[in-house]
Chain A
Amino acid sequence: MGRKLLLEHINVPGINTFDVYRSKGGYASVEKALKTLSPDDVVEEVKKSGLRGRGGAGFPTGMKWSFLAKPEGVPRYLVCNGDESEPGTFKDRYLMTHIPHLLIEGMIVASYALGAKTSYIYLRGEMMPQIRILERAIAEAKNAGFLGKNILGTGYDLELYVQPGGGAYICGEETALLESLEGKRGNPRIKPPFPAIAGLYGCPTVVNNVESIAAVVPIINEGGDEYAKIGIGRSTGTKLISAGGNLKRPGVYEIELGVSVEDFIYGDDYCQGIANGKRLKAVVAGGSSVPILPANLILKTINNENRLMSYESLSDGGFATGTMLGSGGFIAYDEDQCIVRNTWNFARFYHHESCGQCSPCREGTGWMEKVLHRLEYGHGKMSDMDLLVDVSKKIEGNTICPLGDAAAWPVASAIRHFRDEFEWHVTNPSVAVTSNYGLAHYADPLPKPEAAEA
């Protein structure tokens, strides 16, 4: 099992309280940053660490920070994105529930680096228990002199607040989140201007995922160069993976990026295989938005190399044969699961969550849901698969925000890799309502690379 940088102390009794957290070395990064580093030094360390946004897009965090505009006399904001709503993803909830001070510590250091005097942690409204946990932790930190005026006597002031959303997946998109934080509907903004120039209240703003901000703590404690030694290639550091679906031991795992997918699914340190002794049929590796892959393609790349849990390895082969690390929402499907039903379920989700601003997404997600519903319930046509691909192509790339793409990819990838299962639903409508296609050939060894090219 690899190193743990975020969850090392997660099982220490009372780690959710300030005193215990502090006794385990908590808030050392605040002391180090505020007393020995300039804000630009902190940004530099994060750049050196190679940390990539843990919310899904994987954009380098240090670079995002360096884009922040700094006009004189204009406040700057740091907003933490804890909207966590991507199906398959539950790591942030876990982190905030059990070790809330890690997020607060990271918020202080990141706010200092960006010159923010007021920062907000935006959580999805359903996370009321986590809001209460964080508010108590903030009060403890403030009481100990780590928040408020003149933190640790350094002259740096910071107020930190927790903001609830109202139940809307779209608010995980950073500009929709900012609209929501301003008390409006979560309609994504047209970019540019990017939040780094005009974000919250029109001021320069950085929006970062909960896990990205938490990762700043070990980066400052150990140094960016040390952090970058962990992981593989451009996938540096550790990543929280939310493992769900038909796994023997689902849960949140902190992995060193570069662990093999096979080890993650079957290894004793991780998920310990598929529940109930069943066989693996498919995996959604990075949250519902990323392409679904059959068992054979998630375990091996098309070149028959072991697939690794890293940004690069998971996307090896592009969308033809690969997928994405995304937010690390890892969903395993056993041989009894129906890919058509799952695709319909996801399509319904995106239709429900589309904000309605852009016609291709508002209308297209509804069409995909309807067509998939009829396929699942025995009224599909052979032409439906091409129709779905066609609709998905008309959404993809034609919307203000990436929700359109996120709705299109699961549908297109399911048909790409599981077309015969969809066709079986059309040719055996009554059977498909009561039973399913099973594992079929989806776990068969891949053809040799030469054969694949032929």
Chain B
Amino acid sequence: MLSVQNTDAPVTFTPELLGKFADVVSRYPEGKQKSALLPILHLVQAELGWVSAPAMDKVAEYLKIEPIEVYEVATFYTMYFLKPQGKYMLEVCRTGPCEIVGATPIMEHIEKTLGVKEGDVTPDGLFSWRGVECLAACGYGPVLQIGPEYTFYENLTNESVDKLISDLKGKANN
């Protein structure tokens, strides 16, 4: 069951982030600022790594809507992380067209390489992985994406996955 999760860490939105919020809100007619909810949740997640209950409360306050209106949206859509994830979340497409060109063996390889089960975080806090549904890249499968930029990695092989993981480790340690 999906549920929102609390955190003791204080949540503050930087002036820069609040500036981005304001830019998003300006796209909609007066009084329709709730339309900014999905884009703003993406911005919050890109900044904080996930969307905690206190972060969502602050978003509700900012948009002048009830907290439940934020919770119900964050729990409906699959892209919002309701608990902390690894710095790099590898999301592997597992739907039909990717499956028939080898999505399952790729996920098994990732699980073995990272040593954590789907949805868990590696002890160094760097990686998580999960299977996701169709990413609209069916001609280039198997594919995975990594937020918050949502860069795609296509035509995956065990070797290209190994290289990706070691590149990301290198990037994180620099």
Is the Cβ of A88 less than 8 Å from the Cβ of B80? no
Find residues 7-38 in chain B having any chain A CB closer than 8 Å to their own CB. 27, 29, 32, 34-38
Smallest CB–CB gap between B66 and chain A, Å?
12
Instruction: Give the nearest-CB partner of B34 in chain A.
Output: A183
Q: A90-B138, A128-B150, A201-B29 are in contact. Are A164 and B39 (CB under 8 A)?
A: yes
Find residues 88-104 in chain B having any chain A CB closer than 8 Å to their own CB. 94-97, 99-101
Q: A residues within 8 A CB of B99?
A: 341-342, 345
Instruction: Give the nearest-CB partner of A128 in chain B.
Output: B150
Total contacting residues, chain A, CB less than 8 A: 57
A86 interface residue (CB < 8 Å to B): yes
Is the Cβ of B150 less than 8 Å from the Cβ of A93? no
B173 interface residue (CB < 8 Å to A): no
Find residues 82-128 in chain A having any chain B CB closer than 8 Å to their own CB. 84-90, 92-93, 118, 120, 124-128
Is the Cβ of A128 less than 8 Å from the Cβ of B148? yes
B151 interface residue (CB < 8 Å to A): yes
Instruction: Give the nearest-CB partner of A171 in chain B.
Output: B77
Is the Cβ of B76 less than 8 Å from the Cβ of A124? no
Is the Cβ of B38 less than 8 Å from the Cβ of A165? yes
Smallest CB–CB gap between B146 and chain A, Å?
11
* Per-residue contact bits, chain A 396-430, to B (CB 8 Å; 1 contact, 0 not): 00000000000000000000000000000000000
* Per-residue contact bits, chain B 61-90, to A (CB 8 Å; 1 contact, 0 not): 001010001001100111110000000000
Q: A88-B97, A90-B138, A246-B101 are in contact. Are A168 and B29 (CB under 8 A)?
A: no
Find residues 120-162 in chain B having any chain A CB closer than 8 Å to their own CB. 132-141, 145, 147-152
Instruction: Give the nearest-CB partner of B147 in chain A.
Output: A128
Instruction: Give the nearest-CB partner of B145 in chain A.
Output: A126
* Per-residue contact bits, chain A 261-300, to B (CB 8 Å; 1 contact, 0 not): 0000000000000000000000010001000000000000
Is the Cβ of B150 less than 8 Å from the Cβ of A126? yes
Smallest CB–CB gap between B115 and chain A, Å?
26
Is the Cβ of B151 less than 8 Å from the Cβ of A244? no
Q: Which of B29, B36, B97 contacts A183 (CB 8 A)?
A: B36
Is the Cβ of B38 less than 8 Å from the Cβ of A349? no
Is the Cβ of A245 less than 8 Å from the Cβ of B77? no
A188 interface residue (CB < 8 Å to B): no
Is the Cβ of A165 less than 8 Å from the Cβ of B77? yes
Is the Cβ of B136 less than 8 Å from the Cβ of A161? no
How long is the Cα–Cα vector from A329 to B133 in the complex, in angstroms?
15
Q: A169-B134, A181-B35 are in contact. Are A164 and B100 (CB under 8 A)?
A: no
A75 interface residue (CB < 8 Å to B): yes
Is the Cβ of A250 less than 8 Å from the Cβ of B76? no
Instruction: Give the nearest-CB partner of B91 in chain A.
Output: A126
Q: Which of B35, B63, B78 contacts A167 (CB 8 A)?
A: B78
A252 interface residue (CB < 8 Å to B): yes
Instruction: Give the nearest-CB partner of A342 in chain B.
Output: B96
Q: Which of A75, A167, A169, A329 contacts B138 (CB 8 A)?
A: A329
How long is the Cα–Cα vector from A124 to B93 in the complex, in angstroms?
15
Q: A87-B97, A164-B38, A182-B32 are in contact. Are A349 and B77 (CB under 8 A)?
A: no
Is the Cβ of A337 less than 8 Å from the Cβ of B100? yes
Smallest CB–CB gap between B141 and chain A, Å?
7
Q: B residues within 8 A CB of A244?
A: 97, 138-139, 141
How long is the Cα–Cα vector from A89 to B150 in the complex, in angstroms?
18
Instruction: Give the nearest-CB partner of A356 in chain B.
Output: B76
Smallest CB–CB gap between A53 and chain B, Å?
18
Is the Cβ of B34 less than 8 Å from the Cβ of A88? no
B53 interface residue (CB < 8 Å to A): no
How long is the Cα–Cα vector from A337 to B18 in the complex, in angstroms?
51
Instruction: Give the nearest-CB partner of A346 in chain B.
Output: B96
Q: A residues within 8 A CB of B134?
A: 85-88, 169, 288, 349
Is the Cβ of B73 less than 8 Å from the Cβ of A183? yes
Q: B residues within 8 A CB of A120?
A: 27
Is the Cβ of A166 less than 8 Å from the Cβ of B78? yes
Kindly list the 9 A-B residue pairs having the minimum CB-CB distance in the complex, ordered from nearest.
A166-B77, A244-B138, A167-B79, A183-B37, A183-B34, A250-B139, A128-B150, A167-B78, A185-B76
- Using A185-B76, A288-B134 as known contacts, list a sample of 15 further A-B pairs with CB atoms less than 8 Å apart, ordered by residue number in A: A89-B138, A126-B136, A128-B42, A128-B148, A167-B132, A168-B78, A181-B35, A183-B36, A183-B69, A184-B34, A201-B32, A242-B139, A250-B138, A342-B99, A345-B99
A-B contact pairs, 28 of them (CB 8 A): A87-B134, A89-B136, A90-B140, A118-B29, A120-B27, A124-B136, A126-B135, A126-B136, A164-B39, A166-B73, A181-B35, A182-B34, A183-B34, A183-B36, A183-B38, A183-B63, A183-B65, A185-B72, A243-B139, A245-B101, A245-B138, A288-B96, A333-B100, A337-B100, A342-B96, A342-B100, A346-B96, A349-B133
B: which residues have CB within 8 A of A? 27, 29, 32, 34-39, 41-42, 63, 65, 69, 72-73, 76-80, 94-97, 99-101, 132-141, 145, 147-152
